[in-house]
A = this chain, B = another copy of it.
Amino acid sequence: MTVRIGIVGGGQLARMMIGPAVEIGIEPRVLAEEPAMSAALAAVAVGDYRDLDTVLAFTRDVDVLTFDHEHVPQAVLRALVEAGVAVHPGPDALQYAQDKLVMRAGLDELGLPQPDWAAVTDAAGLQAFLDDHGGRAVVKTPRGGYDGKGVRVVSAGTEAADWFAALAEDANGGSLLVEELVDFTRELAQQVARRPSGQIAVYPVVETVQRGGVCAEVIAPAPRSAGRVADEAERIGVTVAEGLGVTGMLAVELFETADERVLVNELAMRPHNSGHWTQDGAVTSQFEQHLRAVADLPLGSTEPTAAWSAMINVLGGPAGAAMTDRLAQAMAEHPRAKIHTYGKAPRPGRKVGHVNVAGADLDDVVYEARAAAAAFD
């Protein structure tokens, strides 16, 4: 019997699971928000993932349910589990990726290194935190943020007034998360895969470069990370995966500080932008690995296939230049670049694809990947 995996969400992460699924004999089915999304090639049902009946109906023909995003409400997730659906990652794990306050509390319980943080409910609380932390801090909405949205650096308790007001109007109520502004030297990401039966596979820690809150570049493995930094990143990744009961792919976004500490920034429980390099630079891509993990199949090797890999995101340009208009140019000038497109309309700043290059020389690899991605500008 072919394993059928249902994927909630029709974005590029679901899309990039399709190829690997076909190869290892898994049948992917997608519950998309709209008909013409990135993952439209696979068998697609269209419906609202917040509606239990819709998701339940979708799960009738699948063996395992997994996700392209982390937005399925806890109530829906828990009802699915109660109805006997195999959900990976499950609601107990996903809550830590869905709510940054829950995440911070969970990481404290695991004793993992992270920025100082607090839950604040008003300007006075925020000001008190600022006073204790040098007058500047990062405020985050606990839910719904992504790619820099829902994140703001503030230096006065009044600068999050709009968010406090929105929280007050929200029937769920709640707090904002405020975090110490970490003086980091660079950002890293640690990816780990974990099966329901417990097997874990660890990818090399990578360096990520963000621009405007959006992941712009990834270098794998992170240069000058061998030894202490890589060991600490791996320890954190494995502790999170096991401690929070994550199944499937986990990405732990990390800060490396000037005093050589490694602190947890964010968690994602799905294939992640920081792992796209694995498509062309590791024995097992994060997309195949996620499918193996959620289906509880043995995990593949995470070994890199080249000394260095670089991933550069392709964003939609202001002129709305079509992806395909530039595809031939990028291919002609960069025959070693692996181009991945998401089948999306290229709105300004929107991730519409990425380029991977793998090879023996770090400078060459980064140069080539940047140049190929620039051909889409």
Contact = CB atoms under 8 A, between A and B. Distances in A.
A202 interface: no
A258 interface: no
Contacts of A16: 22-23
Contacts of A343: 2, 22, 25
B331 A301 contact: no
Contacts of A15: 22
A65 interface: no
Given A324-B3, A343-B2, A297 B331 contact: yes
Interface in A305-354: 305-306, 322-324, 327-328, 331-332, 335-336, 338-341, 343, 353
Contact of A23 (B28, B298, B339): B339
Contacts of A41: 18, 22, 27-28, 41-43
Instruction: Tell me what chain A mostly uses at the interface: helix, strand, loop, or mixed.
Output: mixed
Contacts of A339: 23-25
Give the one of A25, A27, A306, A331 with max B CB within 10 A.
Answer: A25
A28 B283 CA distance: 26
A297 B298 CA distance: 38
B25 A297 contact: no
A358 B305 contact: yes
Interface in A59-81: none
A336 B1 contact: no
Contact of A301 (B19, B28, B335): B335
A298 B332 contact: yes
Interface string A257-294: 00000000000000000000001000110000000100
A336 B283 contact: yes
A335 B298 contact: yes
Given A18-B41, A41-B41, A324-B2, A335 B25 contact: no
B298 A331 contact: yes
Contacts of A340: 23-24
A116 interface: no
How many copies of this protein are present in the complex? Answer: 2
Given A41-B42, A324-B2, A23 B292 contact: no
A300 interface: yes
Contacts of A9: none
A303 interface: yes
Nearest to A303: B336
Contact of A18 (B22, B284, B306): B22
Most buried by B among A16, A303, A324: A324
Nearest to A279: B23
A24 B322 contact: no
A341 B25 contact: yes
A18 to B, nearest CB: 6
Among A23, A303, A338, A353, the most chain B Cβ lie within 10 Å of the Cβ of: A23
A24 B341 contact: yes
Contacts of A1: 322, 324
A237 interface: no
A78 to B, nearest CB: 29
A335 B299 contact: yes
A30 to B, nearest CB: 11
Contacts of A322: 1
Given A16-B22, A303-B336, A305-B358, 18 more contacts: A3-B324, A18-B18, A18-B22, A19-B19, A23-B340, A24-B339, A25-B327, A25-B343, A27-B41, A283-B336, A283-B338, A297-B327, A297-B328, A300-B331, A300-B335, A301-B336, A305-B305, A305-B306
